[in-house]
Amino acid sequence: MRSKLAISIRNLTKKFGEFTAVDNLNLEIKSGEFFSMLGPSGSGKTTVLRMIAGFELPTNGEIFLYDEEVTTKAPFDRDVNTVFQDYALFPHLNVVENVEYGLRVRKVGKAERRIRAMAALEKVHLADFSERKPSQLSGGQRQRVALARAIVVQPKILLLDEPLGALDLKLREKMQIELKELQRELGITFIFVTHDQDEALTLSDRIAIFNNGKIEQIGTPQDLYQRPATEFVARFVGTANVFDGEAAQALFGTSSKVMIRPEQVELGSKGSQATIVETIYLGSTFRFILDLNGHQIIAEVSASDDQAKTYRRGATVKVNMSKTDLVKLD
Amino acid sequence: MTKNSAVAGEDFPSTPARRISSYLYKNAKVRLRLLIAAPVFWLGLVYIAALVMLLITAFWTVDEFTGNTKVNWNIDNIVSLFTDPLYTKVTLRTIGIALAVTVVDILLALPIAFFMSKVAGPKLRNILAISVLLPLWASYLVKAYAWRSVLSNTGVLEWILKPLGLQTPGYSLFGAAITLGYMWLPYVILPIYGGLEKVPSNLLEASSDLGAKTFTTVRKVIFPIILPSIIAGSIFAFSLTLGDYITINIVGGPNQMLGNLIYTNVGTANNLPMAAALALIPIGIMFAYLGAVKRTGALNNL
């Protein structure tokens, strides 16, 4: 696919009274991308999504969808569709009528809209439930109906506002795979809002990390994990050992703020002596919380490592952190 | 007895209260019947018995000489409801006014309720809710007389309308309809507001997101969901207008509605059986109305 811009956001600001929810934001999303907006609650990611959909009007700035300015256009005049966090299914309509809704308001004929709605339900594996009312469905099924309802009108861009937030872990993981497959199959741009970093890492081509109404960093999941630009990103995506000032000076002889991931901390053969403060078994790995001359360090070792199995709380162990694994933070 | 005795394996003492409690606990049906006995007794005595007496009285007559009610079974009163032109005319007029009041109240209530529920902030919403409720706390008579003053030839309405080349409707059926519309408006706003409160805002967003313009959203999403609430409100406005006899006397001029016709028969005319027969008309109309509403299926989602 040609790398055309699906969305271009320029100097976008949104204020609710005194509170600045989105602060002078710039963002470009390529056509066909699976793009995630990741951040803690209140970081402005949902507000940005709602402004792209047209539910909120920006205080300042511009939004372009495929080079067409839509900043102040109503939602029904925008070629985007939204999958809502709590599904927002119409309670008085059954499943297939819900899915047909967008076609009905576009005056698509009765026969055709039924065929297209059933095809969309087929895609989300819900064809057998077409006559049920939303109240008779489980959370995961409602989620699929919401998805079918949004894709049946063939938007160029699909906005997903924490769509899996209300599902339990197993179902969430299953839906993540289905979402990814659906996006590949449809070839349209997905913009996905989440506060779950695992979900964002699993699904996305690129991720924007939100904090206090600004974007801290945009990059591929690998970029963000391996080369976080700020301490916030380092800590929000995965687990990080961040050293600053005195600690950085003492451990690595540098005056800048640095980070190292727990799995890059080597235990055992060489390095300085540290005390094991806590051991945590995580299934595939052991996590050790260590005390190295008063500095806390988190290390992670594969659970199949025979030596790691012998480490006990209170014991001492040699810790080595290679300078080449250090990442300098802003 | 200490709190720990049950844990220690001791039995609770078998008091009568405890035995009754455990009997009721085991016998759900008995429990339910005891619970509902008092209200059923009350309803049966006060409500249904009174209605049955009314129905029976309609088949009696008045002794023209003594003025006392006579047990003399006949259906003359019922027949005259359908044959006497005065009764048919007043019935049709009352239905007409009730329908007009209901429709106007719904049309007024919808935007007010929508604004309260979906647009206003919490503070403004409270102010509006109190403004809607406030008239309900004032006496019905006071409100009727207030409208008598508003509608009078020297009243506020005349003063406002005169520069526009119009004049007050005065004490007339129209004046009565306006007053009744005012009286029942809160009873229509409140259920519709309650219904709208149950429509999450994101349904409106979803509809708009899927391409529906505002009017389509109102027609295809909001309206079907709040239809039972609108009907609940309409039942209030319609039935209260059917039965009203004070407003029409105070601001209706010489005109009659079913309510004051009944009132006249009870009082001045001293014809209780005829009054009872007339009272069956609004009851019959309400039954027909509820039956029609039920057939639309709008009550299924209540």
Q: Give chain A's mean pLDDT.
A: 93
Q: What's the CA gap between A17 and A59, in Å, rounded?
A: 11
Query: How distant is the Cα of B108 from the closest Cα of chain A, in angstroms?
Result: 25
Distance CA A198, CA A173 (A): 10
- What's the whole-number mean pLDDT along residues A306-313? 88
Q: Could you tell me the two tokens for A294?
A: 């008063």
Number of other CB atoms surrounding residue B114 within 10 Å: 18
Find the DSSP H helices in B198-256. 201-209, 214-217, 223-243, 247-251
Over 50: is that where the pLDDT of A156 sits?
A: yes
The count of other CB atoms within 10 Å of the CB of residue B110 is: 21
Measured between CA atoms, how close is B6 to chain A, in angstroms? 40
Query: Is a pLDDT exceeding 60 seen at residue A102?
Result: yes
Q: Look up the ipTM and state it.
A: 0.86
- Report domain extents, chain A: 5-235, 243-328
Q: What is the pLDDT of residues A168-189, one digit of tens each?
A: 888 889 999 999 999 999 999 9
Contacts with B213 from chain A: Cβ below 8 Å: 74, 76, 105
What pLDDT sits at residue B298? 64
Q: Which of chain B's residues have a Cβ under 8 Å away from the Cβ of A84?
A: 202, 205-206
The predicted pLDDT at position B72 comes to 82
Share of chain A above pLDDT 90, in %: 82
Q: Tell me, what amino acid is at A203?
A: L
Question: Could A75 and B221 be called an inter-chain contact, meaning their C-beta atoms sit closer than 8 Å?
Answer: no
For A104-133, the pLDDT digits (tens) are 999 999 999 999 999 999 999 999 999 999
Interface test with A, best of B209, B220, B221, B229 (most A CBs within 10 A): B209
- A153: closest chain B residue by CA: B210
CA angle A232, A25, A213 (to 5 degrees): 45
d(CA A192, CA A36): 5
Residues B115, B117, B118: CA angle, nearest 5 degrees: 70
Does residue A46 register a pLDDT over 60? yes
CATH code of A5-235, in short, is 3.40.50.300
Give domain A243-328's CATH architecture: Beta Barrel (2.40)
Sheet holding A316-321, edge to edge: A295-302, A285-292, A265-281, A316-321
Residues of chain B with pLDDT > 90: what percent? 56
Confidence (pLDDT) at B73: 86
All residue ranges of chain B with pLDDT < 70 are: 1-9, 297-302
- Burial of B243 per CB tally in 10 Å (0-12, 13-18, 19+): middle
How confident is the model at residue B167, as a pLDDT?
A: 86
Distance separating alpha carbons of residues A48 and A215, to the nearest angstrom: 11
User: Can you list the domains of chain B with their CATH numbers?
Assistant: 85-296 (1.10.3720.10)
Structure tokens at A166: 């209300």
pLDDT at res. A289: 95
Cβ separation B202–A86 shorter than 8 A: yes
Please determine whether the domains at A5-235 and A243-328 fall in the same fold group of CATH.
no
Which chain A residue shows the shortest CA-CA distance from B298?
Answer: A92
Return the residue in A73, A80, A105 with the most chain B beta carbons within 10 A, the one to mutate for interface testing: A105
Rounded to 5 degrees, φ, ψ at B185 are: -55, -45
Q: Is A17 on the interface with B (CB under 8 A)?
A: no
R_g of chain B computed on alpha carbons: 27
Residue A13 CA to residue B249 CA, distance in Å, equals: 62
